[in-house]
Amino acid sequence: MAENVKQLAVGDRLPPHLIGPITRTTLALFAGASGDHNPIHLDIDFAKKSGLDDVFAHGMLSMAYLAQLITRWVPQSQIRSWEARFTSITPVGAIVECSGHVTEIFEADGEKRARLEITSSVQGGAVTLAGFAEVAIK
């Protein structure tokens, strides 16, 4: 992994990261572990009252999966910053697919960095999170 990163070039793809399918148990566990107890992710009655057909996954669950995409590529200590927009919801049953590629290689604060474009999506469906990350290359 480290060797690949050293010779990295714009356009290089991160190894894709696939997780799921997301079950109601996944959402219950994530609610407890993350401290996000919003019933919209847990309680179908609440979801229906809010005009939805069903609960849907926490956006931050997919962002945790996106973090795994990055930390499988470089150690966490090399992530400088990152951000994502939540573009659509992730339904129960979805397989989440995370992918990313290098868009720029540059120097900042005396170190070599790569800028990544990253997305998560429902496999075979919509993009759920779209964002960028800046990581140090060592």
Partner 1 sequence: MIDRSVIGKSWPVKAIVPEEGALRFFAKATGETNPIYSDLKAARSAGYPHLPVPPTYLFSLEMLAPSDSFWLDDLGLPLEKILHAEQSFEYRNMVYAGEKLTIETRISDAYEKKGGLLEFYVREMTIRNSNGTECAILKTTLVVRHG
SS3 12: coil
Q: 128 with 89: CB under 8 angstroms?
A: yes
- Alpha-carbon gap, residue 73 to 1, rounded angstroms: 7
Single out the residue of 90, 104, 13 nearest to residue 56, CA to CA: 90
Asked if 30 interacts with partner 1 (CB under 8 A), we say: yes
Query: Cβ of residue 42: shortest distance to partner 1, in angstroms?
Result: 12
Least distance from C-beta 39 to partner 1, angstroms? 8
Binding window for partner 1 (CB under 8 A); candidates: 2-10, 67-75, 98-106, 110-118: 67-75
Q: Is 123 in the site for partner 1 (CB under 8 A)?
A: no
Is residue 2 near partner 1 by the rule CB under 8 A? no
Query: What HEC string does 80-136 produce?
Result: EEEEEEECCCCECCCCEEEEEEEEEEEEECCEEEEEEEEEEEECCCCEEEEEEEEEE
**Residue 77 binding partner 1, by CB under 8 A:** yes
Least CB distance from residue 101 to partner 1, whole Å?
19
- Asked if 95 interacts with partner 1 (CB under 8 A), we say no
Using CB under 8 A as the criterion, which residues of the chain lie in contact with partner 1 when the complex forms?
19, 26, 29-30, 32-40, 46, 49-50, 59-61, 63-65, 67-68, 70-72, 76-77, 79-86
